[in-house]
Chain A
C-alpha cells in the first residue's frame, strides 16, 4: 500500500518494550500464579475453614465471651495506638521534612528501628522496663499502675511496633513538597496553626490517610510484641491474634479460623477503603501530586 510505505507505526510504538508475545504471556502467568498461590489461596483457606461447619457455627464461635473480649480489646488497643501514632508521625515528619537540625539523620534512622527489630524483642524491651524486677515496675506498682499484662502494656507495644507507618508515609511526601507553601502562608499573615490546618494538612491528607490505614491494619494484626507483654490472661489480655493462636492450639479450628477470618476481613476492608478513596478522589490526588 502506498500510504504506509517506508515505515510501520505499530512497530515504532512498541520499540521500547520489545519482548515477544510469548515472554509477555509467560511473565504475566508467573506473576498471577505467584499472587494466587501465596496470597489468594491462604486467604481463601481461612474463609473456607471458618465456614466449614456453616454460618451458624461461625457466629457462635465469635459470640463466645472470651473471643468477644478479644475483639473488643483489639479495637480498644488500635483505637488508642493509631491516634497516638497519627500525632507522633505527623510531628516527626514535620520536624524532619521542614527543619534543619543536628541529629536529623539519626532521628530518621531511629524511626525505622521498629521495622528492623524483631517484634518479640520490642515486646521484651517493655517487659525489661516494667516487670517487677525492673527499675520502673515497682515504682509504678506502688502507685497502683499496672503496665505489663494489662491494656497499657499492649498499647505501648503496639505503638512501638506501628510507629513508622505514618511517619514513613509522610516524610518523603513532605520533603518533596518543600517549605514554599508554608512560607507563602506565613508571608500572607497566617499563624503557625493556621498554616498547619489550612496549608500543610490538606497537602498531606492522602499520604496521612494511607499511613493511618496501614498503621491500623498492623495495630490490629500485631502478634509478636503483644504476645510478650500480654500474659495471655483469657478474656482479659488476649487480643484477636493471640486468641487465634489459643483456639488453634486447643484444636478449636472453626473458632480459630472464624477469628482469623474476621481479622482478615478487617485488613481487606482497609484495602478496599483505600482503593475506593483512590478511585473516588483520583483527580484531586493527581492534582495534588502534579502542580
Chain B
C-alpha cells in the first residue's frame, strides 16, 4: 500500500521534532529513513504507525486519511528496536498474538492461526523453535520472531525501528541480506529507520536522509551518493572533504591561488567546495591546482588513503588513490584536482542551487 505523508509537523512539548515533512512512499517499496540521532526519523516512523499523533499534517494510506485512525485501525506491522517480544509467551504464541486478539468475526480458526504462525516461522527460518521462549533465543533469532509477528497481521505497511541496531556486525550483515530477500518475496511496503548509512544504501530502494527534523534529500542510493543536494548530505553520506573557497570571475580560488576549476556564471563571493576522497586526480606541475604536504598515508584494502596538509588553519584533506599512483609520496608535496565536486554558497543553502561538475575542467587558467 502506498503511504503519503503530507506537511507533517510534530512537537514534543515546545520542541519541534519534525517540521513540515512530506514524503511519498510507493507501494511495495523498501525505503530507509536515515539520519543522525535527533533527526526525527524515529518520530516519523511512529507517526506513520499511529503510535504518536501529528501536531499538524496528514498521513494517507492509499487514498484513505489514516491520521485520525488509531494504531489498531491502521493495521501496520511494527518491529521495535529491542523487539518487545512478549517474554512470557512462546515463539509461536508471540507470532500468533496479532491474530488471536482479533474480534471473533475477523479471527481465523485456532488451527488456521497455528498454521499461519508456523508458516511465518518457516519463512523467517525458525522452524522447530516455536516452543522456545524469547529469553532462550539469540539476538538475531529474536529479531526474526519480531518480524514474523509483525507480518502475521498482513499489515498495510511494515515499519522497522533500527532493525539491526542491537546486533553484532556479522549477524547484522546476514540479516540485512535476508531482510531484502524476505521483502522481495512478500512485497510489503516497508519503511525502516537506521543511522547506519551502509545499511540504508545497501538495503533500500530509496533513502530518505533526515537532519534536524526535516528531510534533506530523497533518492535512490546512487542519487544520494553521487548527487548530494546539501552540504549535510555530502558530509553525512560517505567520506567527503570540504574546502573554503572564493569565486572570482567564474574561477574558484583556494586561499591565494586558483585551483583550476571554473564555476560558470556564478557571482563572486565565498563558497564551500565539496568533493569525495576518491574523486581526485594527481597532476604534474601545478598550473591551477590544490597542493599539500602528505602528512599521513594508510593502505586500506585496495586503495591508499593520504592525508594532506593544505596549510594554514585548514583541517587536513583526505584523498584516496590507487596504491601504484600513490607510491613514494610520503612527506612530499603533491598537486591534485577534484574530478567530481560541488559548490555550496555560504548562507541560505536552500536558495542557491549547488553548482555541480563531474568532468574535470581542463581549461586551467594560465598563471
Partner of A187, one of B49, B133, B135: B49
Contact A189 B72 (CB under 8 A): yes
Q: Which of A183, A187, A190 has the most CB of B within 10 A?
A: A187
Is A291 an interface residue, CB under 8 A from the partner?
Answer: yes
Assembled-state Cα–Cα distance A288/B136 (Å): 11
Q: Which of A183, A188, A290 has the most CB of B within 10 A?
A: A188
What is the 8 Å Cβ interface bit string for chain A, positions 189-226, against chain B (1 contact, 0 not)? 11100100011001100000000000000000000000
Partner of B72, one of A190, A203, A291: A190
Q: A186-B71, A186-B72, A288-B88 are in contact. Are A180 and B101 (CB under 8 A)?
A: no
Binds A, one of B78-86, B117-125, B253-261, B304-312: B78-86
Is B225 an interface residue, CB under 8 A from the partner?
Answer: no
Which chain B residues numbered 76 to 107 have a C-beta less than 8 Å away from chain A?
76-78, 80, 82, 84-88, 97-98, 101-102
- Chain B residues near A191: list those with CB within 8 A: 72, 101
- Chain A residues near B135: list those with CB within 8 A: 287, 290-291
Assembled-state Cα–Cα distance A185/B96 (Å): 11
B94 CB, nearest partner CB in chain A, Å: 9
Count how many pairs of residues, one from A and one from B, have CB atoms less than 8 Å apart in the complex.
Answer: 70
- Chain A residues near B134: list those with CB within 8 A: 291
Is A278 an interface residue, CB under 8 A from the partner?
Answer: no
Contact A184 B87 (CB under 8 A): no
Assembled-state Cα–Cα distance A290/B50 (Å): 29
What is the total number of residues of chain A having a CB less than 8 Å from a CB of chain B?
21
Is B75 an interface residue, CB under 8 A from the partner?
Answer: yes
- Chain A residues near B77: list those with CB within 8 A: 187
Main secondary structure of the interface of A (DSSP, over half): helix
Q: A189-B98, A194-B101 are in contact. Are A180 and B84 (CB under 8 A)?
A: yes
Q: Which residue of A lies closest to B82 (CB)?
A: A180
Contact A189 B84 (CB under 8 A): no
Is B263 an interface residue, CB under 8 A from the partner?
Answer: no
Contact B80 A202 (CB under 8 A): no
Q: A183-B51, A203-B87, A290-B135 are in contact. Are A189 and B78 (CB under 8 A)?
A: no
Assembled-state Cα–Cα distance A186/B84 (Å): 12
Q: A180-B80, A180-B82 are in contact. Are A188 and B149 (CB under 8 A)?
A: yes
Contact B72 A184 (CB under 8 A): no
Partner of B51, one of A187, A190, A194, A288: A187
Q: Which residue of A lies closest to B79 (CB)?
A: A184
Is B270 an interface residue, CB under 8 A from the partner?
Answer: no
Q: A183-B51, A290-B135, A291-B135 are in contact. Are A188 and B84 (CB under 8 A)?
A: no
Assembled-state Cα–Cα distance A183/B134 (Å): 18
Contact B97 A198 (CB under 8 A): yes
Is B153 an interface residue, CB under 8 A from the partner?
Answer: yes
Assembled-state Cα–Cα distance A194/B102 (Å): 10
Contact B71 A187 (CB under 8 A): yes
Assembled-state Cα–Cα distance A115/B101 (Å): 40
Assembled-state Cα–Cα distance A184/B79 (Å): 8
Q: Which residue of A lies closest to B134 (CB)?
A: A291
Contact B153 A188 (CB under 8 A): yes
Contact B153 A189 (CB under 8 A): yes
Is A64 an interface residue, CB under 8 A from the partner?
Answer: no
- Chain B residues near A184: list those with CB within 8 A: 78, 80, 84-86, 149
- Give A residues with C-beta under 8 Å from B: 180-181, 183-191, 194, 198-199, 202-203, 284, 287-288, 290-291
New contact pairs (14) apart from A183-B71, A187-B77, A189-B101, CB-CB < 8 Å: A180-B80, A181-B84, A183-B84, A184-B84, A184-B149, A187-B50, A188-B98, A191-B101, A194-B101, A198-B101, A284-B88, A287-B87, A287-B135, A290-B135
> What are 29 A-B pairs with beta-carbon distances under 8 A?
A181-B84, A183-B51, A183-B80, A183-B84, A184-B84, A184-B86, A184-B149, A185-B86, A185-B97, A186-B51, A187-B50, A187-B71, A187-B77, A188-B101, A188-B153, A189-B75, A189-B98, A189-B153, A190-B72, A198-B86, A198-B97, A198-B101, A199-B86, A202-B88, A203-B87, A203-B88, A287-B87, A287-B133, A287-B135
- Give B residues with C-beta under 8 Å from A: 49-51, 71-72, 75-78, 80, 82, 84-88, 97-98, 101-102, 133-135, 149-150, 152-153
